[in-house]
Amino acid sequence: MKYLYLVICILFVSVSSGFCSDKELPLKWQPANNVRESGYVDVKNLGKIKIWVDPVIDSRREKNEIGRNTEKKTDRLYLTNDNVAQWATERFRYVLKEFGLNVTSDKPDVIISAELVKFYVIEENLYRGNVTFKVKAIKPDNTVLWEGITSGECNRWGRSFEEDNFYECIGNSFIEAIYNLLKDDSFIKSF
């Protein structure tokens, strides 16, 4: 009986102190906004260039950590067992195509190399997402055309611990990171 009382006390203290187990999420592409809703991007000249995106390098320290809920003294991590770098590579290529770029592996004129620096959503009063890449545009002969950083952010209201809100926030942040890259004059003029 003593042990049962001790276990109940430990559980009560854990629950009342905001303890919550981490949540495993598969990566899912579900932005709240369509790529075309981001705004106008003049890619006429870029659309004529054959572009290839190399596999994204994930340089984040914690490869499976993609978010955190800190509401009401809770500290709950969002984790994934999916390969974030592979997912980001597929999404990077997809979003570039959606913006009208010619993404192909067939004799590209330019190769984009991207390093994932941040891929995270913090859920507090809002869902706040951030996706940041270090990007390099190079010719096939390894001549560097452009080097820089692009990032995208998203702030959204949503119900607590709601997976859809997480997916929408990370997706919107991802799209905005690519949009900001394509709006960067120095990037556009380097080709």
Contacts 24+ apart (CB under 8 A), 62-67: 65/120, 66/25, 66/27, 66/119, 66/120, 66/121, 66/170, 67/25, 67/120, 67/121, 67/122, 67/123, 67/166, 67/170
| Domains, the chain, with CATH or none | 19-189 (3.40.50.10610)
pLDDT at residue number 2: 56
Buried b (16+ CB within 10 A) or exposed e, 65-102: bbbbbeeeebebbbbbeeebbebbbebbbbbbeebebb
pLDDT at residue number 20: 56
List, in order, residues 6 or more apart from 125 with CB less than 8 Å away: 71
Rounded to an integer, what distance in angstroms lies between the CA atom of residue 157 and that of residue 123? Answer: 10
pLDDT at residue number 18: 44
pLDDT at residue number 12: 43
Q: With contact defined as beta carbons under 8 Å apart, do 120 and 78 qualify? A: no
pLDDT at residue number 82: 98
70: phi > 0 → left, psi -120 to 50 → alpha, else beta; which? alpha
Tell me the pLDDT of the chain (191 aa) as tens digits.
555 444 444 444 444 344 457 889 999 999 998 887 887 888 888 888 999 999 999 999 999 999 999 987 778 999 999 999 999 999 999 999 999 999 999 999 999 999 999 999 999 889 999 999 999 999 999 999 999 999 999 998 877 767 999 999 999 999 999 999 999 999 999 98
